[in-house]
Structure 1
Amino acid sequence: MSEVHTGKLSSTERVELTRVIMSILDSWGMSAQQQVDLLNLPPKTPTRALRRYREDTPFPQTNEVDERLEHIVGIVDALRTTYPHNPSMGALWMKQRNKQFQNRTPLKVMVDDGIDGIMRIRAHLDCAYDWFNDSKSASSDD
């Protein structure tokens, strides 16, 4: 799984991406409410909606949800390259407290801090993403 541009996906591909993302969030041990918060779904999204996402319903196609999906895919890809010989290490890393995140877990950073937290975790894991964003902001400062 590499860079995904969710706006260019067919409905079948969106359903498959939704299934994969739900599987990832489940493997990270996220509660239903954490999943709703992380994905920026409507606050009163019922648990049965999450069950449908695991089966045959794609996530809502909004800019906010799509941006979060793209970052989650980037995080998963970075975890895969960080731990190439043990895929379960990525899920463990997401649940470990980290000094760089004020002794919070990466999952807590992402849920509590929203899109900023998600981007912070991605930048921490993916030096190419971090470098690209740093170079863009540096060039805009000129």
Structure 2
Amino acid sequence: MQTFSAEEMTALTKAVIHHMDEWKISGEDMLVILGLGEEVRPRHLQQYRQGDKSFPQTPEMMDRIDHIVGIADALRTTFPFSSQMRVMWLSKPHRRFQRRDPLAVMLAEGVDGLMRVRIEVDCAYGYHISEAMRINQSQKANQDAD
């Protein structure tokens, strides 16, 4: 896991909060998506927005941040001229999510939900994941054959 300086982590925190603000996500939902504990309240998000606090550098938080930034980048690539379309995509039921919207998947499934949404919106990331899984299965099959 890459370690960030305090300044880098503050900038990363502000960027992630900014992405979720652009997506029109409520404070309560932000806390769930970020996996922040019950001791953090929606009113505390202002401290993160202003750079007074930054997210902890735990492996799970860094995974969540990676997926949120990846989703934001993919949405910006898919809908470069319309922030409204990005918000709409996140809130529109999708057939690959059993008619649930991507935001509901992220809220219900945590890191796995973030990854599923990212795979759906970012084809390059989806290819990378499927290729890694294929290689892993191939290596496992070779080990079983030995």
The TM-score, its normalising length taken from structure 2, stands at: 0.86
5 Å matches for 1:100-119? 100-119=96-115
Task: Find the aligned partners of 1:106 and 1:66 in 2 and give their Cα distance.
Answer: 20
Shift of 1:22: 1.0
1:62 pairs, out of 58, 73, 86, with 58
Task: Find the aligned partners of 1:88 and 1:29 in 2 and give their Cα distance.
Answer: 10
**Which residue does 1:12 correspond to in 2?**
7
Shift of 1:117: 0.8
Higher mean C-alpha displacement, 67-76 vs 36-45? 36-45
Please tell me whether the aligned partners of residues 37 and 43 of structure 1 are also in contact (alpha carbons under 8 angstroms): no
2:40 pairs, out of 34, 39, 45, with 45
Equivalent residue letter for 2:9: R
Task: Find the aligned partners of 1:98 and 1:14 in 2 and give their Cα distance.
Answer: 33
What is the SS of the residue equivalent to 1:135?
helix
Higher mean C-alpha displacement, 120-129 vs 93-102? 93-102
Task: Find the aligned partners of 2:88 and 2:33 in 1 and give their Cα distance.
Answer: 18
Shift of 1:86: 2.1
Alignment root-mean-square deviation, CA: 1.5
**Which residue does 1:127 correspond to in 2?**
123
Please tell me whether the aligned partners of residues 28 and 95 of structure 1 are also in contact (alpha carbons under 8 angstroms): no
What is the SS of the residue equivalent to 1:59?
coil
Shift of 1:101: 1.1
Equivalent residue letter for 2:80: P
Task: Find the aligned partners of 1:69 and 1:8 in 2 and give their Cα distance.
Answer: 13
**Which residue does 1:26 correspond to in 2?**
21
Question: Once the two structures are aligned, what percentage of the paired residues are identical?
Answer: 36
Equivalent residue letter for 2:68: I
Higher mean C-alpha displacement, 108-117 vs 81-90? 81-90
What is the SS of the residue equivalent to 1:45?
coil
Please tell me whether the aligned partners of residues 33 and 107 of structure 2 are also in contact (alpha carbons under 8 angstroms): yes
Question: Whose Rg is larger?
Answer: 2
Structure 2 unaligned segments of length 5 or more: list them.
139-146
Residue-pair matches, total: 137
